[in-house]
Amino acid sequence: MNRSLIEIRNLHFTYQNLKVLENINFNVYQGEFLGIVGPNAGGKSTLLKLILGLLKPNKGNIQVCGKKPKIGRAQIGYTPQYPPFARDFPISVKQTIFTGRLKSLFQRFNEKDHQIVQQVMQTTQVTALQDRALATLSGGQLQRVLLARALACEPKILILDEPTANIDMRMETDIFDLLKQLNQKITILVVSHDIGFISKYVNRVACINKTLVCHETACINGEVIDDLYHQHVHMVDHVH
């Protein structure tokens, strides 16, 4: 088995006296494509924030590449569910991707920085958009730019929170086809509401609803989904 890049042991997190996560134990292994699914308010985004060191657990331990999250997160490329900037902010696609190379506010970009940015723009197929303002992009184009930005830091782990939530089915397929290619070199965690769709791509599915249970993709069935969502499977099935 490949080495573990993320290790979580006996993790508990409470927010304003509300138990959000209870006794979470799992590993993410090098080379995995892991899907994270669960109902709204089940703790998916909270778990990501704990892995990134943006929140501290009330109890338990997290290791990212053998280090505490605030140090290990340097090995993570992250795309949030809701981009933390105004869409009409006056910045180009290329400038946005360069921010993925930033290590300090007054950094001067060198030749390697320029090479990496050109490379990730080609990988994500946004080179032709590089001079466009973010405000002019479609939802699918913006997701590719944010993915390029996450890749610009040369991560070992890529974490995406609902990367296809606001794009159409064709773009969703394109994004996940690209992620499958990237998975040949990068470990990927992706949060999704769509267990039916991502099961075609991921190796394992982590089902989160306060607690966490990991399943091999082949083991995902109606009973598992019923237990996770506490409602009949047809209500969360993906229908095109």
Q: Is the pLDDT of residue 4 over 90?
A: yes
Residue 229: which H helix or E strand, with range? helix 222-229
User: Domain for residue 78, yes or no?
Assistant: yes
Task: Estimate to the nearest angstrom the gap between the alpha carbon of 50 and the chain centroid.
Answer: 13
Average pLDDT of the segment spanning 145-170: 90
User: Domain for residue 179, yes or no?
Assistant: yes
The answer to whether 6 and 50 are in contact (CB under 8 A) is no
**What total number of domains does the chain contain?**
1
Structure tokens at 49: 């924030």
Kindly report, residue by residue over 192-213, the tens digit of the pLDDT. 877 777 888 898 998 898 888 8
CATH number of the domain to which 68 belongs: 3.40.50.300
User: Domain for residue 240, yes or no?
Assistant: no
User: Domain for residue 55, yes or no?
Assistant: yes
Kindly report, residue by residue over 21-75, the tens digit of the pLDDT. 999 999 999 999 999 988 888 899 899 999 999 999 999 999 999 999 999 999 9
Q: Is the pLDDT of residue 228 over 90?
A: no
User: Domain for residue 107, yes or no?
Assistant: yes
Domain of 8?
Answer: 4-235
User: Domain for residue 206, yes or no?
Assistant: yes
- pLDDT of 84: 63
> In a 10 Å sphere around its CB, with 0-12 CB exposed, 13-18 middle and 19+ buried, how is residue 232 labelled?
exposed
